[in-house]
Amino acid sequence: LNLRVAVGGGTNTQSYEFGFTDPYFLGRRISAGVNVFRRVYNENNFRSYDYDTTGGGLTFGFPITENFSIQTGYQLEVQNIDVEGDKCDGGGDDASLAICQAAGETFVSSVLYSLIYDSLDNRLDPHDGIYAKFTQEFAGVGGDVAFLRTTGSAAYYREILPDRDIVGLVKVQGGHIVGVGEDVRLLDAFFKGGETVRGFESSGFGPRDAVTEDALGGNVFAAATAEVQFPLPVLPRDLGFKGAFFADAGTLFDTD
């Protein structure tokens, strides 16, 4: 049984997560997992609203071959945008129109599946192999919104100098979301920043409101990374710390 408990906090963010996975559900080669979460995001210099989300989901995994597997799941999420005072009463001058349209509480009910190829030699410290994942999520199984979100990523690891534990990594990723009978809401779009292209602030690139400078998210993103990882010479390798030279590139565009 794999158990995960995570609590995080910062100046403008708090997060809580609990989940567990049984890799041999009912004694079979089927994984089953449950997770619940709550995340709170306070107003800051790139977001002129408070946002919180609470939800949970179920996942099941089925191995097809030694390296190839399929995951399916269901998730229910309650999202809430709280715009302070009368920011939405001024015709969009104080808060973006996209934010005002998304304000309030929304239920998102979705099903998803993932196709996973994993030939890594070690999941925690990979030196050789490929990890690729393709996911589609459909929201509209009840709930208040309907969309189809598609994401994919692939990472290739290869030892460059095995005797010195130097590893090369190339990774590509991308995503696209389209509304089903409606526009894509602010909260359902992709937001990208330093987690995708290192050096950017959170939600640091992509479409923005010209007046308020709020990040609006995008319906399409693509990114790539090239990296060389190496052990830090002053620390024992058993500690797991590594240094890296890297180059990141990415783009986020198209908003409703």
What is each CA distance from 154 to 19, 59, 121, 133, 198, in whole angstroms? 25, 21, 15, 6, 18
Whether the pLDDT of residue 91 is over 60: the answer is no
- The confidence score (pLDDT) of residue 44 equals 75
The answer to whether residue 43 scores a pLDDT higher than 50 is: yes
Sign (positive or negative) of CA dihedral 192, 196, 200, 201: positive
**CB burial of residue 156 (10 Å; 0-12, 13-18, 19+):** middle
Sequence-distant (6+) residues with CB within 8 A of 83 are: 48, 49, 50, 95, 99, 100, 103
Radius of gyration of the chain (CA): 20
pLDDT of residue 90: 59
CB 182 within 8 A of CB 148: no
Residue scoring higher pLDDT (84 or 172): 172
Note if the pTM is more than 0.85: yes
- Residue of 74 and 124 predicted with greater confidence: 74
User: Tokens 């309907």, residue?
Assistant: 146
- Model pLDDT, residue 92: 47
153-183 per-position pLDDT tens digit: 999 999 998 888 899 999 999 999 999 999 9
Neighbours of 108 (CB within 10 A): 24
Q: What is the Cα–Cα distance from 79 to 37, expressed in whole angstroms?
A: 12
Looking at the DSSP bridge assignments, the partners of residue 53 are 39, 79
